[in-house]
């Protein structure tokens, strides 16, 4: 028993990848997006599980994340999707990662670095911003100029063309914006592919992958869905996704509280009846956010009990009721299932007015990750 533990089921990640692959149009491949430490699940173990689930690519946001995968001995193709500074680009290239370009200066810099070292040509994917309004160029002519510059440079290889959707997770509520982005990108990619055969065309994140086969092209880039989190913020079970992560703690102390006695900073909980509180040694220092104070439920002994009072950095309290069956040492589940009950990251996210991604990403390094396969040692 440890104070706070994230248990990650690698078999669930494997099955989620297999489930996503079943969705893909013929010939399309799956890139598992393992950025931000696999959204809190641990980048390397989840990357391995995703590859076992027949993902063929890995994608990350940063050069350091690519280097971490290589240092662990993973040799699948890795795409660094994020912006790379002059300092970061060499790190990405040393990791043999594919990189993304949208201006000629970056392409020239990559060519310069590639020329200065031995090895195969650096693979570059050109990014068109079709409506996300973030990285990439909004101008298809500019994107084509970058592609031509990459194709001309002997040290570079034009490997792909990509875009990213802004509203894939809002079907029926985005006024056709998703379809408009898709249309703009398809036109661009078709032209580019006619000039540069063999180009890998990719656009879809998890939501787009589940929303539209027309968005699959040659490769989809799935993050959240591989972890069994629902990209549409609903119950993952409805789309046959299996949450891989469970967050656990335990009842470290019982605190009988008479009517009128309070618990925690600021006395934000005052017992309205005689009751017994359970103290769980987990808090916002573990990523169990303070916004959940008086605003969450926890599974203790297979039943939902209310989290009461202010969450501290290292502890929180739950109200076990006047005659609790749970004693000291009773396991507590903050995310996951126990008995007939289940608390999803989506439920926690809703309480915090945020999205599931932020809940698992926010679990801090203080929480050990324990890996298993359906309960068996991984």
Cβ-proximal residues to 106 (8 Å cutoff; 6+ apart), any chain: 84, 89
Closer of 34 and 111 to ligand PLP (Cβ):
34
Look up residue 214 and give its DSSP letter.
G
Report the residue from 223, 228, 236, 287 that binds ligand PLP according to the rule CB under 6 A.
223
Rounded distance, CA 170 to CA 177, Å? Answer: 10
Q: Interface with ligand PLP includes 33 (CB under 6 A)?
A: yes
Cβ-proximal residues to 371 (8 Å cutoff; 6+ apart), any chain: 7, 8, 10, 42, 45, 378
Check if the beta carbon of residue 33 is closer than 8 Å to that of residue 20: no
Tokens 């996210």 map to which residue?
349
Closer of 33 and 128 to ligand PLP (Cβ):
33
Instruction: Identify the active-site residue in 227, 265, 284, 357.
Output: 265
Stretch that binds ligand PLP, among 90-98, 203-211, 316-324, 360-368 (CB under 6 A): 203-211
**Nearest distance from C-beta of residue 164 to ligand PLP, angstroms:** 4
Q: Interface with ligand PLP includes 81 (CB under 6 A)?
A: yes
Look up residue 95 and give its DSSP letter.
T
Report the residue from 7, 19, 48, 164 that binds ligand PLP according to the rule CB under 6 A.
164
Q: Interface with ligand PLP includes 219 (CB under 6 A)?
A: no
Cα 110 to its chain centre, rounded Å, is 28
| Angle (CA) 172 175 180, round 5° | 110
Task: Mark 84-116 as b/e (b = at least 16 C-beta within 10 Å).
Answer: beeebbbbbbebbbbbbbbbeebbebbbebbee
Closer of 207 and 367 to ligand PLP (Cβ):
207
Stretch that binds ligand PLP, among 69-77, 91-99, 201-209, 254-262 (CB under 6 A): 201-209
CA dihedral 133, 136, 139, 144 (to 10 degrees): -160
**Nearest distance from C-beta of residue 189 to ligand PLP, angstroms:** 15
**Nearest distance from C-beta of residue 111 to ligand PLP, angstroms:** 23
Rounded distance, CA 302 to CA 308, Å? Answer: 18
35 classed as catalytic: yes
Instruction: Identify the active-site residue in 35, 127, 250, 357.
Output: 35
Q: Interface with ligand PLP includes 206 (CB under 6 A)?
A: yes
Q: Interface with ligand PLP includes 182 (CB under 6 A)?
A: no
Stretch that binds ligand PLP, among 84-92, 176-184, 200-208, 237-245 (CB under 6 A): 200-208
Stretch that binds ligand PLP, among 137-145, 218-226, 314-322, 345-353 (CB under 6 A): 218-226
Binding mask 118-157 for ligand PLP (x = CB under 6 A): ----------------------------------------
Q: Interface with ligand PLP includes 231 (CB under 6 A)?
A: yes
Q: Interface with ligand PLP includes 53 (CB under 6 A)?
A: no
Check if the beta carbon of residue 58 is closer than 8 Å to that of residue 77: yes
Q: Closest CB to ligand PLP belongs to which residue?
A: 223
Q: Closest by alpha carbon to 160, among 62, 225, 77?
A: 77
Number of H helices, E strands in the chain: 11, 21
Per-residue tokens: 114? 């590639």
Residues forming the active site: 35, 265
* Footprint on this chain of ligand PLP (rule: CB under 6 A): 33, 35, 81, 164, 205-207, 221-225, 231
């Amino acid at each position: 028993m440890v104070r706070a533990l994230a248990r990650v089921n690698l078999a669930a990640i494997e099955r989620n990848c297999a489930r996503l692959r079943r969705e893909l149009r013929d010939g399309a491949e799956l890139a598992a997006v393992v950025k931000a430490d696999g959204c809190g699940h641990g980048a390397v173990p989840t990357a391995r599980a995703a590859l076992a689930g027949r993902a063929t690519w890995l994608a990350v946001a940063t050069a350091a994340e690519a280097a971490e995968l290589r240092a662990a001995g993973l040799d699948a193709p890795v795409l660094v999707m994020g912006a790379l500074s002059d300092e970061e680009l060499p790190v990405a290239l040393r990791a043999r990662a594919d990189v993304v370009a949208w201006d000629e200066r970056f392409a020239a810099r990559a060519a310069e670095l590639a020329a200065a070292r031995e090895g195969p040509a650096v693979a570059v994917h050109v990014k068109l911003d079709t409506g996300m309004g973030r990285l990439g160029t909004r101008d298809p002519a500019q994107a084509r100029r970058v592609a031509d510059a990459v194709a001309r440079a002997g040290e570079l290889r034009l490997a792909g063309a990509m875009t990213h959707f802004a509203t894939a997770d809002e079907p029926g509520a985005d006024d056709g914006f998703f379809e408009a982005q898709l249309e703009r990108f398809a036109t661009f990619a078709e032209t580019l592919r006619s000039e540069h055969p063999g180009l890998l065309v990719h656009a879809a994140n998890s939501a787009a992958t589940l929303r539209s086969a027309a968005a699959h092209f040659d490769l989809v880039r799935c993050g959240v869905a591989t972890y069994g989190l629902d990209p549409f913020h609903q119950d993952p079970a409805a789309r046959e996704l299996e949450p891989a992560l469970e967050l656990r703690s335990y009842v470290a102390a019982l605190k009988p509280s008479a009517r009128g006695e309070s618990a925690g900073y600021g006395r934000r909980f005052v017992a309205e009846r005689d009751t017994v509180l359970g103290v769980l040694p987990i808090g916002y220092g573990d990523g169990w956010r303070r916004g959940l104070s008086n605003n969450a439920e926890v599974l203790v002994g297979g039943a939902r009990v209310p989290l009461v009072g202010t969450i501290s950095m290292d502890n929180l309290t739950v109200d076990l009721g006047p005659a609790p069956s749970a004693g000291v040492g009773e396991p507590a589940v903050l995310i996951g299932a126990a008995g007939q009950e289940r608390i999803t990251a989506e439920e926690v996210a809703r309480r915090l007015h945020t999205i599931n991604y932020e809940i698992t990403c926010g679990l801090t390094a203080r929480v050990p990750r324990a890996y298993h396969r359906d309960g068996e040692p991984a």
